[in-house]
Structure 1
Amino acid sequence: MPRKIATVRSPADDCAEEHDVIRVSPAVLRSWRLTAGSVICMRFGSAACEVKVQPLSVKRLPAAEEELHLQGRLCGELGLRGGLRLSLLYLAHAKSLYLGPLVGVLISRLYSSSAEMPFGSMTAFCQELVKTCEAAGVCIFFFSPEQMGSLPDVGGMYYDGEWRKRSFPVPHVIYNRLTSRKDEKRPDVRNFLKTVHLLYDTQIFNDKYLDKNDVFQALRNDPALQDYLPETYPFTTYQLLKTMSHRYPVLFLKPAAGSLGKGIFRLFRAADDHCQIRYTAISSTVTLHFQTLSHAYAYIAAKVRIQPYQIQQGLDLLTIGGRPVDFRALVQRDGEGKWVLSSLLARIAAEEHFVSNIARGGTMCGVQEALEQSRFHAMKHVIHTKLRKAALGIAHTLGSHVPGIFGELGIDLAVDTSGSAKLLEVNSKPSREEFTRPHPEQAARPSITRLVDYAIYLAKFAQ
């Protein structure tokens, strides 16, 4: 039966109402094929109780949208609040009314000293999610690892014009926006996510960072994607470095668990075995010179010993004004669980930088605008199509072959000097700072709407 959206009401004159009574319009009661006084189970996340369903009196029938009336004490027991817009999904075979979906967003830090910006730079993104969820009949709250609480209660924050704290039931869906691998590996975080999935069937998406080596291993097994993949391996030995440097004059060494362009080395080996290594420091690019490849390896080995690295063929990339250009695709699952392309933007590296990350001073513009300034201006539509096809193909394969549920992927692509699309890396926690935010009065971005639609789909409310 299709879900309906209703506003939760707890009128003051309902104080005399029986504690376990809920009221909906007679039309809704008929659509559920229930009679007055029917006893059903009402569920909101992990919270549940038996209630009697009664029709709203004629004088209280809502003029437009449906309403769900219940006593204030029952609201509190279930973790509901007056004014909340929720979807109502009644399943006759289970005699159960599901309210929700309830979505929790797990965020790394709560800035308790800031009432207006409790999640720092992520706060605007959170408010945009709230606005979109309200329109869709979804209840959303935000919580950090410190607020996970004692199950079945989860501490969190919600927004209704200002940020407030309260306890919630275990949600139907958790969107993992932890932006720290250290937080993600915390035993209490891993135990919490495992427990809510096993005990309450909570669906968790983007539950982990992707490892670059695992990504390329999965993609290598798909014959349709081979043309997009530069030669790439886990970086293990000097012999591998020597072999790769004989094939390609430029190599990139990247942390397998890195992000934001941190820890990347660019190695150039000349014909006489002299080597140059470049890497990005806090505000500049450092250049070092070595007499031989073995000397360069000794320097790199000391740097990469503490974490796994990846070695990748250096590509002869498209440039604009001598600055490398790459492309960030945001690919998401929609309300049917299918991959769609939500955004595709060009990123131009800052002067004297070889990485284009916005965090490293890169700038963004539209794909067509960037290609118009390049040697491929006459092929801009063809190349745009190649990039779109590559992003969707890569997302589809990773979604099918990498364990876990992923609702969105940031896919970094490049175009080489032959006009071919190439994969650089994939990020399961794409930055929300890289995409233009709408004016407060404008409709939500498609990328936000798709996040909410996918959460509804995972919660099984898309009926």
Structure 2
Amino acid sequence: MRKRYPIDIALNDQLVVFCPPEIVKDRQIEKIAFGTQSVEARFLPHPEKKNRIVISKKLGELLHFPDFNIPLHAFFDYKTLVIGPLIGIFTSGFTPFPLQPIGERSYIFAKLLSVKKSVGVLPFVFGEQHIDWDQGLIKGYFYHKNQWETVEVPFPNVVYDRLPNRKSERKPSLKQVKDRMQKEYLIPWYNPGFFNKQDVYDRLQQESTVGNYLPETHPFTSFSAIETMLSTFGHVYIKPNNGSLGIGVHQILYDKNENSYFCRYRDPDGTNRLRKFSTLESLFKIVFAKRKLDTMLVQQGIHLLKLDGRSIDFRVHTNKDDAGNWHVTAIAAKVAGSGSVTTHVRNGGEIKTLAEIFPPEERKLYTDKLTTASLLLSEALEKNMEGIIGEIGFDLGIDKNGDVWLFEANSKPGRSIFKHPDLKEFDLLTRKLSIAFAVFLTEQAILYPEELFK
């Protein structure tokens, strides 16, 4: 059973650690470690048998240990006592402004770091420019007592990837940071990489447990293939393979009575459009004139549940906890804006709780269905995707028959649903678990490194 202990710093220069008797009993401990830094020391039972760890000021300096008065976990690695974990949150987009070191995202990161005491960790934010590879140190941004503070700390036990977009992820220098930390320092790195829609679909198709959640999805190849899907499903969605936030999504419908094609989409100026065409070719020639069709996907249209004539889909967050188990941590409904092709808030969509749109019996039925689907999909993705996955945001639909469909899986889910006042507790839960998973990874890296890095 993992335990957390307050860490006190004594004002002396002796390389001595006073521990609760249970720590030193029947153990031969020779070193204390924080992050990737370790120092030899003498270990003695606390003279007053207090349930806390006391290190000297000198040890604190050698370990580069910030004294933030956070009870931390104790791990044992052979003859070493590891206190922590120290968690590095890797991102980009830093500014020279101390009050907003990560620009507009500073508030999001401050909220994320604010769970440190309840989880028992020391998290900090850093970028490539803050790493001193020669000294094995990082000038990290900590959020303490409602303000940002930079402290030089060792390389962390675990890195949580929070790069903001695909552009930053593709930068060679940022890729190099990830590769070096994983290969040279054996630091677990979780939630690497944005998902690619077609890649997710192809990999999940291999799993029998989730095949029934997958709408038919193909890379764009020809008009005849779209015609076939339109005759089968009545409407299809054309969406960018690497898109996000609903940008670039088009709905194409075929009306048999009029023998006409309709395209619903959002203009760059923010106007929702519905246009009519006599042929599919003319539709593509006009609407997709400036788009590279080989980067687009064609997906089966689903006849979704509706509220007041507006389509509903669902955002479901899943997280791994400090024992490495998946949980559904938030479910919200997203109701499409008037005339919008997607349910995104930026396109006029609304966030609702399930209680706001379903009576109790229906709410339980749909909650159970969404929960079952999300947990099965999380396990399937974890099994089939590279890297360590600790959180996923799913966009799911439920059709008029009550069947669940996967529209998208997000490795770095947005947090717009948490603006709803009734979802605040789930906002906190998702933040806590996204950090608590690092406690599990730290323990795994100590006890079973061969499993983690195989």
Q: TM-score, normalised by structure 1?
A: 0.87
Offset from partner CA, 1:235-262 (integer Å, 9 cap, x none): 2333322322232331101111111111
Query: Could you tell me which amino acid in structure 1 is paired with residue 5 of structure 2?
Result: I
Equivalent residue, structure 2, for 1:298 = 285
Q: Contact 1:238–1:297 at 8 Å: present in 2 too?
A: no
Alpha-carbon distance between aligned partners in 2 of 1:179 and 1:96, rounded to the nearest angstrom: 36
CA contact (8 A) 2:273 2:339 kept: no
- The SS at the match of 1:224 is coil
Could you say which residue in structure 2 is the equivalent of 1:105? Answer: 89
8 Å Cα contact 1:110-1:118 kept in structure 2: yes
1:52 maps onto 2:47 in alignment: no
1:157 corresponds to which of 118, 138, 141: 141
Give the aligned partner of residue 261 of structure 2.
275
CA distance in 1, matches of 2:283, 2:20: 78
**Which stretches in structure 1 are left out of the alignment for 5+ residues?**
none
The answer (yes or no) to whether the contact 2:20–2:53 under 8 Å persists in 1 is no
Post-superposition offset of 1:143: 1.4
Per-residue deviation at 1:205?
1.1
* In structure 1, C-alpha distance between the alignment counterparts of 2:206 and 2:251, rounded to whole Å: 27
Tell me which residue corresponds to 2:9: 9
Partner of 1:33: 27
Q: Which residue of 2 aligns with 1:330?
A: 317
Could you tell me how far 1:54 is from its partner in structure 2?
A: 4.0
The structural deviation recorded for 1:8 is 3.8
Look up the match of 2:18: 24
Identity, % of aligned positions? 25
**1:428 alignment partner, one of 397, 400, 411:** 411
Once the two structures are superposed, residues 331-370 of structure 1 have per-residue CA deviations (whole angstroms, 9 ceiling, x without a partner) of 1112221211111111112222121112333211211322
Amino acid at match of 1:362: G
User: Does the 8 A contact of 1:104 with 1:175 survive in 2?
Assistant: yes
C-alpha distance after superposition, 1:176-198 (max 9, x if no partner): 11121100111011111011011
Unmatched tracts of structure 2, length 5 or more:
448-454
Question: What do residues 88-113 of structure 1 show as CA deviations (whole Å, max 9, x unaligned)?
Answer: 2234xx21111211111123322432
CA RMSD for the aligned pairs?
A: 2.7
2:428 — aligned with what?
Answer: 445
Structure 1: distance between partners of 2:209 and 2:2: 39
Deviation of 1:381 after TM superposition, in Å, equals 2.5
Does 2:452 match 1:458? no
Give distance in 2, aligned partners of 1:132 and 1:407.
17
The change in CA–CA distance for 1:67 and 1:96 in structure 2 (over 3 A counts) is closer
C-alpha contact (below 8 Å) 2:221/2:294 kept by paired residues: no
Give the structure 1 partner of residue 450 of structure 2: none
Match of 1:70 among 56, 62, 66: 56
Moved more, 173-182 or 139-148: 139-148
**2:210 is paired with a residue of what secondary structure?**
helix
Equivalence for 2:303: 316
Task: State the partner residue of 1:260.
Answer: 245
Q: Tell me, yes or no, if the aligned pair for 2:195 and 2:409 is still in contact at 8 Å.
A: yes
Of the structure 1 ranges 21-30 and 181-190, higher mean CA displacement relative to structure 2 is found in 21-30
Name the structure 2 match of 1:387.
370
Supply the AA of the counterpart residue of 2:393.
G
Q: Kindly tell me the number of residue pairs found equivalent between the two proteins.
A: 440
The structural deviation recorded for 1:305 is 1.2
Cα distance in 2 for partners of 1:455, 1:31 equals: 27
Matching residue of 1:348: 335
**Do the aligned residues in 2 keep the contact of 1:211 with 1:257 (CA within 8 Å)?**
yes
- Post-superposition offset of 1:304: 3.3
Q: TM-score, normalization: structure 2?
A: 0.88
Residue 336 of structure 1 aligns to a residue whose secondary structure is coil
State whether residues 91 and 162 of structure 2, in contact with CA within 8 Å, keep that contact through their aligned partners in structure 1: yes
